[in-house]
Amino acid sequence: MLFNSIEYVIFLPIVLILFYTLPHKLRWAMLLVASCTFYMWFIPKYILILLITIIIDYLAGILIEKYTDNHKLKKALLISSVISTCLVLFIFKYLGFISENLIALCNYLGININLAVNLILPIGLSFHTFQSLSYVIEVYRGNQKAERNFGIYSLYVMFFPQLVTGPIERPGNLLRQLHEEKKFDYDNISKGFRLIIFGLFIKMVVADNLGYYVDMIYEDPSKYNSWDIILGMIFYSFQIYGDFFGYSTIALGSAKLIGFDITDNFNTPYLSKSIAEFWHRWHISLSTWFRDYVYFPLGGSRVKFSRWAFNILIVFILSGIWHGAAWNFIFWGLAHGLLHIFEKFVLNHIPEKEHKGRIEKIIVDAFKIAKTFILVTLFWSLFRATSFTNISDLFTSLVNNFGVNEHLHIENRIWIYLGLFIVLDVMLYNTRFDKWCDKFPAAIRWSIYFILIFMIITCSSVNNFPFIYFQF
């Protein structure tokens, strides 16, 4: 089920009404049924795959806690759980990629083999795999009690607002809330609907309208002028941001309606002054997951520079692999890792100048923000491209096509949507839309809501773009 579908418009009020009319002891069961329904709306049979990982990690958590005094057995149980859970992800997401590369290698060597594997990736598998792993790891570390109620643990993994594209929740946040009795609160209802409206606006009005032009550029870059290619790359930066940020905001709002607080996944990432800061503000739940479960166990920053650089590369390459089973994602992660290391190296050897006066600081900060945005935009081309041939065509056309007459014919309204989004994003620096609205009197707040709703109804793209992160 899609957040921007008629089905969800019907589904969400039903869940909301049932949640607040049922007694507390029955609410988790209703939410579990609702979450199963939500997930099965895509491909029903794939809920069985999700069930496998749920059973594995549910039992692992109980056994790890039971044998907490037996360190060797506890560690063996953790490793078994991690391997088993990751194996499911490996089979459906990476086995096809490996088989394709083996076939290509064998063909190059003159060996004819048929190892083709064609499996459909279950929606959100990477997200709920990491959510399950965080539970087992936290139980192993002693930070989380093993959940005995199988239904509630299943709901922790399957909670419908963040089931298919995150945010990746930790048990200390979500599992705790599943046991709490939630009271009807008008403030939660108000904030929830604000977030949903804003999320739908940035997805359907901004991201989807930009997506039409992005697809044109990436389908055949050779047709377009170099300036249009640059514009298409910038449009993609805002398309993927609006698409994922929009989904995450709708997820926040949907959870807020029933009194749940889930993780903010974005914090104005395009106002970052460095690649390191960008990853503190972009897909926060994934960044912190890799920080806590990969980067810190590897030694973090408490090691010499060479080892730290190695740790960073491992984290970013894994992040690239997590995003997709293709070489372009691996190189995208590698590029971010190398730039992160370079920034750190420069900072270590070139002390930052102390700026005199506010104007000078603003100019310097603006330069840093622009530099970071340009680099991130260039790297997004690796993320968006369908193949290395597509990447090559894109950059070849970027360099050589200044004399090409073909232009993108961009409607004026697109600039209005994008400009409005950028202005709102700047105004939301280090805050959230629902909290930002609280600063205004009721008349202004309601005016903002009506404008956004009007634009969603009248200005949404005619093209139905799926959420980009569904593929992960």
Q: Write down the number of H helices and E strands in the chain.
A: 20, 0
Q: Is 258 left (phi over 0), alpha (psi -120 to 50) or beta?
A: alpha
Burial 176-209 (b: 16+ CB within 10 A, else e): ebbeeeeeeeeebbbbbbbbbbbbbbbbbbbbbb
Count of C-beta atoms within a 10 Å radius of residue 99: 16
Active site residues: 323
Distance CA 338, CA 313 (A): 7
C-alpha angle 124/125/131, rounded to 5°?
Answer: 90
Task: Provide the token pair at 93.
Answer: 């997401």
- CB-based burial, 42-71: b 16+ in 10 Å, e otherwise: eeeebbebbeebbebbbebbbbbbeeeeee
Contact (Cβ atoms closer than 8 angstroms) between residue 157 and residue 125: no
CA proximity to 382, closest of 326, 426, 328: 328
- Going by the DSSP 8-state scheme, the letter that residue 329 receives in this structure is H
Q: For residue 458, give the nearest of 137, 78, 200 by alpha carbon.
A: 200
CA 186 – CA 331 distance, rounded (Å): 47
Q: Please report, for residues 226, 431, 440, the alpha-carbon distance to residue 307 in angstroms, rounded to integers and kept in the order given.
A: 41, 35, 50
The helix/strand/coil state of 201 is helix
Of 191, 197, 89, residue with least CA distance to 133: 89
Pairs from 108-111 (Cβ < 8 Å, separation ≥ 24): none
- Token pair for 131: 């959510």
Instruction: Give the residue among 53, 59, 119 at the shortest CA–CA distance from 92.
Output: 119
Let me know: does 74 contact 65? Beta carbons within 8 Å: no
In order, the DSSP letters of 213-272 are HHHHHHH-GGGS-HHHHHHHHHHHHHHHHHHHHHHHHHHHHHHHHTT-------S-GGG-
Query: Cβ distance 230 to 398 under 8 Å?
Result: yes
